[in-house]
Amino acid sequence: MLTDEQYGRRIGDRLRHEIDDVHASPDLVRKLRRRRTRRTWAITGAIATPVAAAAVVAVVVSGQAAPNRSTTAAPTSAQPRIVTVAFIQAETVKALGQGTQYVIYSKDTYESGYYETWTDKATQRYRNDVYTRLPAATQAGRTGDGKLTLPSGPPAPPSGPPHRQQSHAVKDLGESQEITTVDWENNWWSVNHLRDDKPQTPIPDPTDPDGMRKAVAEGKVELVGQEKIGTVDTHHLRVIGPRREYKIDLWVDSTTYLPVKETAVKAGNKQGGDEFPESEGEVITYTWLPRTEENLAKLTLSPPADFKQLK
């Protein structure tokens, strides 16, 4: 029997052989330059949740009375609440519980289209429908090896009305995810399973109260003002990353403190001489729906009977 070292070397050799036909795109530099509207998932993933909203709101509540977050006076009926780290943590934990009471509907609009997502935090499921205004033949991210990615900066201006391109339904099965995909343009569907560890990452997990407390403590939060979004009175907040790598504007309902609208902009590089462009902002709106059968049904994705299943 091979020793571990011998076997590992053999595995390495075999892996080199198996992927020796994998080559990077020769025009990668050009692609990097054009990658300008891609969503900053990690950033919005950390913010676009009731948990984040609650944590941020907790700071803003203090900001209204004590912008430096360091008030120590006892509250009276005429004074705003005192905000401490313990307060933020308590609000975060409270919001976590509240988030599971809703089906969260969000609409994320960007240059070439939009997508709608329904999320049920109670069961860790979500479903989304991706709409694009790009003609099928020129969608960004469709590469020669048949892979599809989200639009990442269309090479040509989008045209035409949005049409549904793909839908995805994801179930979190603990250590794996089941992902159902329906492609409406090419009439196929598939079910994939992804196995992986839970991430160990410096980016805060929005479902982790400790992680969110840290994110709010290390970042910068501003209260821009009170604004109306449609008919809803909101607090307009601005969250700036600890290294100024992103800026998020968040409007939270002034009664429920749940987010109503968000825009996120990833900062462009201003150092080192390279000049990749700043990402363009996208707008996300949120609607908090009760967990009725009708709303939970939005999480189900059923492929049409005449679509081809890909293995």
Partner 1 sequence: MRVDPSFEVFVEDSSTALLRTAYLLTGDRGHAEDLLQTALLRTARHWSRARDSPQAYARTVLLNLSRDRVRSLFRRPREAPMPPDVDTLHAVDAGYEQVSERRVVLRALAELPIRQRQVIVLRFFEDMSVEQTAGLLGFSSGTVKSHTSRALARLRELLADHDSLQEVPRAHR
Give residue 50's region: left, alpha or beta (phi > 0; psi -120 to 50).
alpha
**Joined tokens for residue 111:** 């240059």
| Residues 250-267: b if buried by 16+ CB within 10 A, e if exposed | bbbbeeebbbbbbbbbbe
Among 52-60, 62-70, 95-103, 169-177, which window interacts with partner 1 (CB under 8 A)?
169-177
CB-CB contact of 106 with 127 (8 Å): no
220 binds partner 1 (CB under 8 A): no
311 binds partner 1 (CB under 8 A): yes
Closest distance to partner 1 from the beta carbon of 60 (Å): 24
123 binds partner 1 (CB under 8 A): no
Using CB under 8 A, pick the residue from 157, 160, 199, 304 that binds partner 1: 199
How many angstroms separate the CA atoms of 217 and 162, rounded? 40
DSSP state of 69: S
205 binds partner 1 (CB under 8 A): yes
Q: How far is CA 308 from CA 137, 143, 186, 191, 205, in A?
A: 20, 21, 9, 12, 37
Among 61-69, 121-129, 228-236, 297-305, which window interacts with partner 1 (CB under 8 A)?
121-129
Q: Which is nearer to partner 1, 109 or 254 (CB)?
A: 109
Using CB under 8 A, pick the residue from 7, 123, 244, 297 that binds partner 1: 7
Give ∠ CA 215-237-201 in degrees, rounded to 5. Answer: 20
Among 58-66, 87-95, 166-174, 213-221, which window interacts with partner 1 (CB under 8 A)?
166-174
CB-CB contact of 268 with 278 (8 Å): yes
Using CB under 8 A, pick the residue from 79, 143, 226, 300 that binds partner 1: 143
Closest distance to partner 1 from the beta carbon of 267 (Å): 9
Among 66-74, 86-94, 264-272, 289-297, which window interacts with partner 1 (CB under 8 A)?
264-272
291 binds partner 1 (CB under 8 A): no
41 binds partner 1 (CB under 8 A): yes
Taking the CA atoms of residue 5, residue 7, residue 10 and residue 14 in that order, the dihedral angle to the nearest 10 degrees is -130
**Joined tokens for residue 248:** 């998020």
10 binds partner 1 (CB under 8 A): yes
